[in-house]
Amino acid sequence: MKESGNKDGLLAMIRDGKIMSLRQQLLLTAQLSVPAIMAQLSSIIMQYIDASMVGHLGANEAAAIGLVSTTLWMFGGLCNAFTIGFSVQVAHLIGAKRSDKARNVLRQAIVASLLAGLTIASIGALISPFLPVWLGGNSEICSDSSTYFLIFSLCIPFVVFNMLASGMLRCSGNMRVPSMLNIFMAVLDVIFNFLLIFPSRDITLLDNAITVPGAGLGVTGAALGTGLAESLVALLMVYYLVLRSGDLKLTQDKGSFKPTRKVVFKAVRISLPMALQQFVMSTAHIMTTMIVAPLGNVSIAANSLAITAESLCYMPGYGIADAATTLVGQCLGAGRRYLCRQFARISVALGMSVMGVMGVLMFICAPYMMELMTGVDSVISLGTDILRIEAFAEPLFAAAIVTYGVFVGAGDTVAPCVMNVASVWCVRLTLAWLFVNVFAMGLVGMWIAMAVELCARGSLFLLRLWKGNWMKQKLVSQ
């Protein structure tokens, strides 16, 4: 029977109230998770390539990007939190078989996203000259850091639309298109960076010398390459969403783009706790950067490159979390709470298994991962040590990531956000300050604190998942 194995057929079983076997639940979770994982991996590979290309220019260039990376995450996280408030509504409405209402939410989200993107971009551009100094960077790297952050800020409207379009498509059950376009973005990023970061040079290919053109822009080239790739893919993503997607293409009917109080209020109810969490947690991460900065450029570079390297391990967890958000959202929209609980448990178990294996691989391959990104021996050695510390935290880190995706799908964002913030500020920052400043453990102490905090946070999230309080929220589609 087609329903037994086809993704769209399995999603239809949720909306139509049909009984699903455990095999069908596992199959649907895998079918949604795999393309989402590929999309997340392509994103981190893009960052990995950026870090690798810049890292081979020298420790100062890597430190210039590393200094502002936590602030970039804060801006990106705020953009993502903003769009999720609309995407979760779409998941619930599609689960309730109310696609016309879902398209109305999309229309309003487009206008709201444009306003939000322009606002965040303006703030980023205004603070870019001062940010590296505020973060404690030295004069050798501040200029490059400011330029990198400015270029990223100017691309934020495209970042917002990319997140909105990919989130809407995923919540409608379409994981394939966002995944393919994100992989394409990684390819574009490689090409643009190759041409923009390095100067013109001769390379040998099959015993023939070939002159490769290059702009030689260094850190600036890395920012431009990533910004161009992100912007082009954002345009393609929005085009597919509004003109080609099955449930959400806007040519199916007419509607108003004017934001309404009801839709905006629901979006704010979901997004505001996430945005506040992102701001507070990113502030904590910025404080972490300020703790690391006095340790020197080698520590700043090792910290930044190791975070990028570790992302290869935890990005699969975010992919599975995206699938969990879709499944939980559509199940609750359809009023199927038991099935919602089943998908939540399956998703979390899958995430912990995958990231557990990735943690083992990271422990073994840590020196090779660092060597791919930099040729500085001191950075490679320090980065290897801290990656191997973090490897032990990956399974419980997965629990925190995927369980949070479950809660988001249910529209339950307040308590999980409080848990995240409390964990980072009370556990990670406290231990990091003690280990670095009191016990003089340097960057190693910082990463021990991070590993302890991730294990504590994952345990708390698993406890809340087991209790089931997250399913008591009022459905967004009502």
Provide the pLDDT confidence category of residue 37 given band limits of 50, 70 and 90: confident
CB 181, CB 101: distance < 8 Å: no
Mean pLDDT of 385-402: 95
Q: For residues 229 and 184, give the distance between their C-alpha atoms in angstroms, rounded to a whole number.
A: 9
Residue 396 lies in a domain: yes
* Residue 1: Cβ within 10 Å count: 6
Mean pLDDT of 294-316: 84
Residue 477 lies in a domain: no
Q: What confidence score (pLDDT) does residue 198 get?
A: 87
- Give 92-119 pLDDT, tens digit per residue: 899 888 999 999 999 999 999 999 999 9
Q: Is the pLDDT of residue 138 over 50?
A: yes
Residue 107 lies in a domain: yes
Chain-wide mean pLDDT for the chain?
Answer: 87
Residue 478 lies in a domain: no
Q: Is the pLDDT of residue 366 over 90?
A: yes
Domain count, the chain: 1
Q: What confidence score (pLDDT) does residue 181 get?
A: 92
What pTM was computed for the model? Answer: 0.76
Q: What confidence score (pLDDT) does residue 46 get?
A: 65
Residue whose pair of structure tokens reads 């639940």 in the numeric block:
25
Q: What confidence score (pLDDT) does residue 30 get?
A: 87
Residue 376 lies in a domain: yes
Provide the pLDDT confidence category of residue 51 given band limits of 50, 70 and 90: low
Residue 146 lies in a domain: yes
Q: What confidence score (pLDDT) does residue 477 get?
A: 44
Lowest mean pLDDT among 7-11, 231-235, 254-258: 7-11
CB 157, CB 117: distance < 8 Å: yes
Q: What confidence score (pLDDT) does residue 472 get?
A: 66
Terminal alpha carbon distance of the chain? 33
Q: What confidence score (pLDDT) does residue 165 get?
A: 95
**In which domain, by residue range, is 58 found?**
2-472
Q: For residues 344 and 80, give the distance between their C-alpha atoms in angstroms, rounded to a whole number.
A: 22
Q: Is the pLDDT of residue 474 over 60?
A: no
Residue 214 lies in a domain: yes
Residue 451 lies in a domain: yes
Q: What confidence score (pLDDT) does residue 478 get?
A: 42
Provide the pLDDT confidence category of residue 381 given band limits of 50, 70 and 90: very high
Mean pLDDT of 272-294: 80
Query: Which residues in 344-373 are b (16+ Cβ under 10 Å) and which e?
Result: bebbbbbbbebbbebbeebbebbeebbbbb
Provide the pLDDT confidence category of residue 60 given band limits of 50, 70 and 90: confident
